[in-house]
Amino acid sequence: PGTPLSSVFRNTNAMQHHTLEFLQALIRQYGDIVRIRFLPGTFYLINHPDGVKRILQENNRNYNKDAVDYRVLKEFLGRGLLTDDGPSWLEQRRLMQPIFHRQHLATFGKLMTEATLAMLQRWQDLAGQQQPVDIAAEMMRLTLRIAGKTLFSADLDVDARTIGQSFTKANQVITDYANAPFPPLFIPTPRNRRVLAAGTELVEVVTRLVKQRRQQSEEAGPPDLLSLLLQARNEETGAAMDDELVRDNVMTLLIAGHETTANALSWTWYLLSQHPDAEQRLCEELDTALNGRVPSIEDLANLPYTRMVIEEALRLYPPAWAFSRHALEDDELCGYHIPAGSDLFLSPYTTQRHPDFWERPDEFDPLRFSPERSAGRPHYAYFPFGGGPRLCIGRDFALMESRLVLATVLQQYRLRLVPGAHIEMAPLLTLRPRDGLPMTLHPVA
């Protein structure tokens, strides 16, 4: 109470135009729990790992997703796993958890390296021309293709005329909207009409896919995520998901899965281009472990440095850089009273650069994730995949995908940032490079 209106406008403007700097300045000035007023309302920014742990784990039942960013996603993802809450969320989580079991992931590893090899094939022409390539766009296309293959066995490049084209375009329009959801959808601007039409189109395509698959006998279906969703049964009641819920979850896995992983990969390429020593160490590890072979999921256990590189990229540039919660009852976080009904922001971006928990926090230093140097660090100083019961269900999938893609590409190419290119962060729904990532491709001799 009592925040002058001018400050509310100033905060809203700073949050819109200098988001990351603004959040970090607030934390420097006011500490780890900050209460701030914007035009949409009052928010608490929770930066301390103890506060994050209480929200995501210890007292997680007190917090739901009836908060700002999730309201936008709900428009498209309905009551799928990411956006649902309460008992129906728990029921879905129980049904879907086994789908992401290691045994299923193993079959997806091959699809991931195949899609990467197809991209490298295409790169042959581009490398010959010495033309800069937008690696952010390449990673987006690659992870969308992997999503199409692993979700419903469709090749979104080859099947362009049947499902691929409308699907890819609708996905693009919706992702762009979710990244900058102003003005809200109920205001009928031309852009919002396009977004709603794209939403309808995507729902139609996915509904058709689900219906077609339902008609095939279960054994005949390919072993993709869609058939696993259709086969999932509640252990006690034997109940399955209805078509609408399967549809919402196909959309959810697609939207939650591909852009996040694409950004994780893009930032990794950027960091490696700035740190030739780390790149060299990574390539040496790959040479020793793989000896020129295409990597498989079994190889990943022998690639500890590769894993640390990805972990460090996810620390500095977490694709899900912030997410929100809504408090159902009063609570206390790090000694501060949080009233019922408050909206809260958790930001992996700010917490993962917290100087009390990270030495030289802005520096790229993958070895900080070695077991020796990780000892004693609070668990929730690092949460690129969230935590507690609502931990990202695709975490292992994403970590596997990013390591396989990285290893497969590095066996054939080194990527160099175009000289003079200035790469800026755009903290939209996900943290992206603002104007793409122009790089040149250099075949390994």
Question: What does the binding site for ligand HEM look like in residue numbers (CB under 6 A)?
Answer: 81-82, 93, 252-253, 256-257, 260-261, 264, 319-320, 323, 384-386, 390, 392-394, 397-398
> In angstroms, what is the minimal distance from the CB of 257 to ligand HEM?
3
137 three-state secondary structure? helix
Coil, helix or strand at residue 411: coil
The closest residue (CB) to ligand HEM is 394
User: In the complex, what is the shortest distance from the CB of residue 40 to ligand HEM, in angstroms, rounded to a whole number?
Assistant: 18
Q: For residues 228 and 112, give the distance between their C-alpha atoms in angstroms, rounded to a whole number.
A: 18
Least distance between ligand HEM and beta carbon 339 (Å): 21
Edge-to-edge strands of the sheet including 413-417?
133-134, 438-443, 413-417
Between 82 and 439, CB nearer to ligand HEM: 82
Q: Check if the beta carbon of residue 153 is closer than 8 Å to that of residue 108.
A: no
Measured distance CA(16)–CA(231) in Å, rounded: 44
Least distance from ligand HEM to the Cβ atom of residue 247, Å: 14
Nearer to ligand HEM, 196 or 398 (CB): 398
Structure tokens at 371: 């077991």
Residue 143 vs 273, nearer CB to ligand HEM: 143
Fill in the DSSP letter of residue 355.
T
In the complex with ligand HEM, which residue's Cβ is closer, 250 or 290?
250
For ligand HEM, give the closer residue by CB, 56 or 439.
56
- Quick one: 210 or 320, whose CB is closer to ligand HEM? 320
Of 266 and 408, which has the nearer Cβ to ligand HEM? 266
Q: How far is the CB of 225 from ligand HEM (least distance, A)?
A: 7
Length of the chain in terms of residues written: 445
Q: State the minimum distance, in angstroms, from the CB of residue 362 to ligand HEM.
A: 20
Q: Are 95 and 241 in contact (CB under 8 A)?
A: yes
* Residue 40 CB partners (closer than 8 Å, separation 6+): 68
Q: Closer to ligand HEM at the Cβ: 175 or 260?
A: 260
Contact indicator for 150, 228 with CB cutoff of 8 Å? no
The nearer residue to ligand HEM, 196 or 431, going by C-beta atoms, is: 431
For the beta carbon of residue 314, count every other beta carbon within 10 angstroms: 26
Q: Between 63 and 358, name the residue whose CB sits nearer to ligand HEM.
A: 63
What is the sign of the dihedral through the CA atoms of 212, 169, 119 and 129? positive
Peptide bond into 183 cis (omega under 30): yes
Q: How far is the CB of 330 from ligand HEM (least distance, A)?
A: 21
Residue of 344, 352, 343 whose CA lies nearest to 319: 352
For 65-126, give the DSSP string.
S-SHHHHHHHHHHTTSTTT--HHHHHHHHHHHGGGGSHHHHHHHHHHHHHHHHHHHHHHHHH
List the structure tokens of 111: 């699809």
Cα–Cα distance, 312 to 316 (Å, whole number): 6
The nearest distance, CB 394 to ligand HEM, in angstroms, is 2
Residue 338 CB, nearest distance to ligand HEM (Å)?
17
- The nearest distance, CB 349 to ligand HEM, in angstroms, is 11
The dihedral of CA 396, 402, 407, 409: what is its sign?
positive
Q: Which residue has the tokens 């362009």?
A: 160
